[in-house]
Amino acid sequence: MSQLSRRSLLAAGATFLLGGAVHAQSYPSRPVRIIVPFPAGGSNDIIARIVTQKLTERSSQPFLVENRGGAGGNIGAEAVATSDPDGTTLLLTAPPPLTTNAALYKKLPFDPATSFAPVALIATVPIVLVVHPSLGVRNVSELVALAKAKPGTINFGSSGIGATNHLAGELLKSMTGIDIVHVPYKGAAPAMNDLLAGHIPMMFDNMPALLPQVQGKLINAIAVAGAKRASALPDVPVVAETVPGFEASAWFGLVAPAKTPPAVLAKLQDDVTAILQMPDVQKRFAELGAEPGTVAGTAFGQFLADETTKWAGIIKASGATMN
C-alpha cells in the first residue's frame, strides 16, 4: 500500500470517528419521540413518563411519550422499526413486540431480532395476582379449589393475547389443571377498570399499575408471580409457595431502530444508566414496586434473546395464536 493510500485511510478513519463524536455531542438536535405501544395509564406508560422526564432534563431537547397501542404492541413497534435511524424515534416497551409476539403471530411487519438496536433494560416489575372481593378467595389454594369446582366459569383479564399477564394466567392453568377463561383487553388499564367494576373477577397485572388499587382495598392481592415476595407487598406470598416452580415477571426496555449510529446509542445508554442510578428515580420505582434495570447494549440484546426462547414454549403449549 502506498504512503498516499495509508494517509487516505487514516484520514477517512479520523473523519468517521470525529463524525461519530460530533453526532453524539449534538444529539438530540430536535425533539425525541418515545413510543409506548400500549394505551396510557398502564405500567409501561407510567415507567416511560418517569424516564422521559429525566431524559428531557438532561437534554437541550424534549423527550415526549407517544402512546400508539394496538395489535399487541406491534403497531407502535412497527412505527419505530420503520422510522429514520437517527435516535429521534425510540421504543420503550413491555415484552410482547420484542419477544413473545415472534411466537404468537404468524407474520409480523418487522423482525424483532433484527429491526431494533438494544439500548437498555429500564425496569423489572413483579406481576401480582389480584381478585375482585366478590370472588371470595383469599389465596391461591382457594382460587384453585373454586376453579376446579366451577370449571370454565371464572374469567381472567389481560392487556392482550400474548401479553406477559396473559401468559402468567396460562402458566397457572397448565401447572394446576384449572379451567379459567382468558378475556383479552386493549391494554392493562381497561382490563383493570373492568376488574375494579367487578366485570371480571381476577387478573395478573404489573405492580406499578395495581398498587394504588390494592392499597386502597378496591381489589385484593393474593399472590406475587415472581420468585420472591415484593417489598411493596411484603405480606403477600408468591404463587410458588402453593404451586412450586411457578414464576413470571414483567420488564420494560428501550430500543432504537436498527442502524442507529453507535455514538447515539452510547449516549442514550449513558444517559439511561445515569438516570436509573438517581436516588429520586430509585425511590419512585420502589414506590411502584419496580426495580431499575441492570443491563444495557449487547447484554440487553442477549437478555431479549433469552426471553424470546423462554416464552416460546409456553405460548406453544397454550395454543395461543394471532393472525
pLDDT in the model for residue 244: 96
Give residue 111's pLDDT. Answer: 97
* pLDDT tier, 23 (very low <50, low <70, confident <90, very high otherwise): low
**Phi, psi dihedral angles at 310 (to 5 degrees):** -60, -50
Q: What is the 3-state secondary structure (H, E, C) of 58-127?
A: CCCCCEEEEECCCHHHHHHHHHHHCCCCCCCEEEEECCCCCCCHHHHECCCCCCCCCCEEEEEEEEEEEE
Residue 201 scores a pLDDT above 60: yes
Residues 52 and 121 in one domain: yes
Question: Quick one: 164 and 63 in the same domain?
Answer: no
Task: Judge if pTM exceeds 0.75.
Answer: yes
Does the pLDDT at position 4 exceed 50?
A: no
Q: Which of 74-78, 145-149, 157-161, 269-273 has the lowest mean pLDDT?
A: 157-161
The answer to whether residue 12 scores a pLDDT higher than 60 is: no
Residues 8 and 115 in one domain: yes
- Is 270's pLDDT higher than 70? yes
For residue 248, pLDDT over 60 is answered with yes
Of the residues 216, 241, 266, which one is the last residue of a structural domain? 241
**Do 159 and 94 sit in the same domain of this protein?**
no
Question: What's the confidence (pLDDT) of residue 127?
Answer: 93
> What pLDDT, on the 0 to 100 scale, is given for residue 3?
47
Torsion of CA 55, 57, 59, 60, to 10 degrees: 140
Question: Domain with 291 in it: what CATH number?
Answer: 3.40.190.150
Indicate if the pLDDT at residue 11 is higher than 60.
Answer: no
pLDDT in tens, 299-311: 999 999 999 998 8
Which structural domain, as residue segments, surrounds residue 97? 3-125+252-318
- Under the banding of pLDDT at 50, 70 and 90, the label for residue 192 is very high
E strand or H helix at 255: strand 249-257
Greater model confidence, 315 or 271: 271
Does pLDDT of 22 surpass 70? Answer: no
What is the count of structural domains for the chain? Answer: 2
How would you class 67 by CB atoms within 10 Å of its CB: exposed for 0-12, middle for 13-18, buried for 19 or more? middle
